[in-house]
Structure formats: C-alpha cells, structure tokens
Amino acid sequence: MPIRPLAEMTWEEVRAVHAKPWIVLLPIGAVEAHGPHLPLRTDGIIAEAWAREAAHRLEGRGLESLIFPTIDYTPAPFAGAFPGTVSVRAETVTRLVLDIARNVAEQGARALVLCNAHLDPAHLGALGEAIKRAYAKHLTILFPNLTRRDLAARLTQEFQSGACHAGQYETSIVMAVAPELVREDLRGGLEPNPASLSDAIKDGHSTFGEAGGPSAYFGFPADATVEEGRATLSVLADIVEEAVLSAVGPEQIGDPS
C-alpha cells in the first residue's frame, strides 16, 4: 500500500495497517511569520515532509507508519507581533499530544513519534510536559528534539548557529518539497541575518524583534538550494529511524521481506 496521510485513508485501509507492527508519525508545525518569502505554515510543511521521508525509511524496515494530521496551532510568542501568527496556550498542546498518545496506544501503536519542526521555547516546553505526563502513564512518545546538541550537530552549519528561522535551512526544505510556495522574487534579494536565535533566548529575549529579526527571518535564505533541502530531509529521516529502532527494537518488527 502506498504511504498516504491518515486523513486520506479509509478505515478499512487503516485496519490493514493495524494488522502489522505500526507506529504513528505526528507532524507538528506552527502558524507564524517566516520572513517575507515563506508561508506562515512553513514549519508544518517541513514536518510533513520529514514524516513522509521517515515513513518510507521505516517501511523498508518492515514497520508500517500512519502519518497523522499535522498539529499547526501551537505556542508561537516569538512571532506574536507579526500579522498572521496564531499562538495558543502551552497547556492546549500538552493535552492534545497526550490525548493522541493515549488514543493510539489503545489502538495498538508501538509508539507516537513527534516530527516537530517548530522550535519556540514555549512550544518545546509544552511537548516536554506532554512526554513527562505520558511517561507516568506508560505511553511511548518519541521526541527527536532537534535542539539537542547531538542531533543539531548532524544538521547544517546554519542550523547549529541558531540563525536558522526562515533562513537557508528551512527555505531549502520548502524549495525541495513545495517550491511554488517560496516567493523567489523576494528570496534572492534578502540580506544575510546572522543573528542567533538560540543566543538571544539565552540572553532573555522573547521576540523576533528583540532577537534581531525585524522581518521575521534569521540566517541566509538567499543561499538556499533544493539539494540542501533534500539532503536535510534524509538526515531527519535517519534521526527518526534510529529513534524508533532504539525504542521499538528490530526484534519486535519482524522480517520486512
């Protein structure tokens, strides 16, 4: 069966997946400003592409994946001053993720994997709280948190610098999977903005403006390429594959042949 998002499947098709070892891939994004050249839903677009790549990788391991509908509404206070940004309470996201984890566990999923592309500190805190509560309830949530030093080190130099919101890293991925959504007439003329969001967060800043991003982008969007976007998605798929195999164990999956 070709890999399709859960929302496009019928219940009978899902039942066929449930007959085998399976996991849930949950893309998580945001609705927030991403410079003058990328859409508000950039994080969701990236998270969905990540989940698709990971699903194909896991299929080769004999593990079925269901790609759930994306969570787009999350805390996004850093971009709150920009029109179009929608920010919700952290507790809303915590409860939603926890409820999804409980439900899929009852249906027999081996794990719920968070393919999260939104790195606002308030949002990451909400996911961390969900995982803490899930652990207490013996629910398996896997969260490859890209802000972890060991995972960030596998991504691009720009990402590691912290100057990566709507920059070369994110723009490259969108160019690779949804080029029609990139405002190319604007992207090529954007000046580099090496201001580091991660440094700004450490310094106590709480908005893009305070962090040095008056146009809601950080990094080097003019240097983005499709090739970089594809390479990054491959690394992201590696990260999920490793997390799943570590948690589920190849012996529980069976022979993919």
| pLDDT tens digits along 159-184 | 999 999 999 999 999 999 999 999 99
d(CA 2, CA 14) in angstroms, rounded, equals 12
The predicted pLDDT at position 248 comes to 84
The predicted pLDDT at position 99 comes to 96
At residue 257 the predicted structure's pLDDT band, cuts being 50, 70 and 90, is very low
| pLDDT tens digits along 208-245 | 999 999 999 999 999 999 999 999 999 999 999 999 99
256 part of a folded domain: no
42 part of a folded domain: yes
The predicted pLDDT at position 256 comes to 43
User: 105 lies in which domain range?
Assistant: 6-250
**Percent with pLDDT over 70 in the chain:** 96
Three-class SS of residue 141? strand
d(CA 182, CA 188) in angstroms, rounded, equals 11
Q: Tokens for 190, please give them.
A: 């954007």
d(CA 238, CA 94) in angstroms, rounded, equals 26
Give the domain CATH number at 113. 3.40.50.10310
CA distances from 132 to 180, 232, 250 (A): 39, 29, 25
257 part of a folded domain: no
178 part of a folded domain: yes
The predicted pLDDT at position 255 comes to 44
CA atoms within 13 A on the CB side of 183: 13
| pLDDT tens digits along 72-90 | 999 999 999 999 999 999 9
| pLDDT tens digits along 34-76 | 999 999 999 999 999 999 999 999 999 889 999 999 999 999 9
At residue 158 the predicted structure's pLDDT band, cuts being 50, 70 and 90, is very high
163 part of a folded domain: yes
Residue 6: is its pLDDT beyond 70? yes
| Mean pLDDT, residues 108-120 taken together | 97
d(CA 240, CA 156) in angstroms, rounded, equals 17
229 part of a folded domain: yes
b/e map 148-179, b = 16+ CB within 10 Å: eeebbeebbebbbbbbbbbbbbbbbbbbbbbe
1 part of a folded domain: no
Bridge partners for 13 per DSSP: none
Number of domains in the chain: 1
At residue 252 the predicted structure's pLDDT band, cuts being 50, 70 and 90, is low
Q: List, in order, residues 6 or more apart from 11 with CB less than 8 Å away.
A: none
67 part of a folded domain: yes
Burial class of residue 199, CB neighbours in 10 A (0-12, 13-18, 19+):
middle
